[in-house]
Amino acid sequence: MHNVIVVGDANVDIIVPYPRFLNEQRTIVKYPDVSIQGGGTSANTAVALSRLAVNTSFVGSIGNDQYGRFVLDDFAKEGVDTTYLRTHDELNTVGVFAFVDEFGERYLWGWPRESQSFKVLDLDDRIMNAVRNSDWIHSSGMCLVYNTSARDSITRIFREAYNLGIPTSFDLNLRVDNGVLNPDFYDALMGIMPYVTHLLGSGPDEFSYLGDDTWENNAKDLSVNGRTVVARDGANGSIGFKNSSVISAPPFNVDVVDTIGAGDIYNAGYIKSMLDCSNIERSLLYGNAVAAYSVAHKGARNSPNINQINEFLLHYDVKTFK
């Protein structure tokens, strides 16, 4: 069985729906239930991989607090190895409050604001040895946003893996303020890019900021030196760019319930399939299938297990990939 290491952010998501007013005078109010679940861009991918029967280890940091204990329990329940997930007394695990309005739009706010654990990552020989013995490394741009030890450590892990010929995948997760990509963040992306063999991102929403051309051409321009670039494009499916080739995979038509976390979950499907068959077209389609299953269910952690995705593929008359 393949061994994947996911390195990056793990937090807790607290979903807070807006109150519902049941009369015009707004005197009768219904307060929907608040829910709590595991979160974090990298953690979502790790859990989705584990559900797809991939041996998955998580490298990162949490605080010695209530949220941190929730993360540990959640990973244990999902079968994600936490040997390399460090607990720090002086750091805070972030709780991301998602306030959901009556239209389903989410407004995110993270707390605490200080000493956030996802910004810190100290490497040791155990972690680096695990990296050297892995079959795939994955991370996310979330931990490159700030000029902290996490940024430096993730870049070092990718460099080590790349030099050993271990496949690496990186999800952009761009943070854009008022239509402008932070120059420091851009420099960090370009710093890790030489060590990325599979670059994933949301088509027009992210690749538009990584060049002066159309988002498709920007993505194509990044598919150099053997790098595969994968553009997720929602209801349009996904597109892969490899050398001079452009490969498209169609979407699966489902009734969309919740798109939160779909990109993180897509990544897991793509990685799983690439490990199994090394075929880009099939892996794009498998990623589409895993993401489609997730958006038909509520929550960022509603990714399928291996039996559920096999049944989903059979329903759409797609053969299970081997």
DSSP 166-183: --EEEE----EETTEE-H
According to DSSP, the residues that pair with 11 across neighbouring strands are 39
- Residues in contact with 221: Cβ distance below 8 Å, sequence separation at least 6, in sequence order: 211, 213
Considering its fold, how many domains does the chain have in total?
1
What percent of the chain shows pLDDT beyond 70?
98
Mean pLDDT score, 162-169: 99
Q: What digits encode the pLDDT tens for the residues 182-219?
A: 999 999 999 999 999 999 999 999 999 999 999 999 99
Between CA 228 and CA 244 the distance in angstroms is 10
Flag whether 47 is in a domain.
yes
Residue 319 predicted with pLDDT over 80? no
H or E stretch at 100: strand 95-100
Between CA 195 and CA 160 the distance in angstroms is 9
Cα–Cα distances in angstroms (integers) from residue 96 to residues 13, 54, 116, 266, 305, in the given order: 5, 27, 12, 21, 25
Flag whether 108 is in a domain.
no
Flag whether 52 is in a domain.
yes
What is the pLDDT at residue 243?
A: 87
Residue 158 sits in which domain range?
3-10+41-93+114-315
Mean pLDDT score, 170-175: 94
Flag whether 167 is in a domain.
yes
CATH number at 53 reads 3.40.1190.20
| 269, amino acid identity | G
Lowest-confidence pick of 23-27, 58-62, 278-282, 316-320: 316-320
Between CA 164 and CA 228 the distance in angstroms is 18
Contact 301, 40 (CB under 8 A): no
CA 151 to chain centre: 16
Q: How many CB atoms lie within 10 A of CB 258?
A: 17
Flag whether 204 is in a domain.
yes
What is the pLDDT at residue 320?
A: 54
According to DSSP, the residues that pair with 20 across neighbouring strands are 30
Flag whether 28 is in a domain.
no
DSSP code, position 188? H
Residue 120 predicted with pLDDT over 90? yes
Flag whether 143 is in a domain.
yes
Flag whether 33 is in a domain.
no
Q: What sign for the dihedral angle of Cα 266, 292, 288, 56?
A: positive
| 68, amino acid identity | G
Pairing of strands 168-171, 198-202: parallel
Mean pLDDT score, 224-235: 96
Q: Which tokens is 265 given? A: 């979950």
pTM of the entire structure? Answer: 0.94
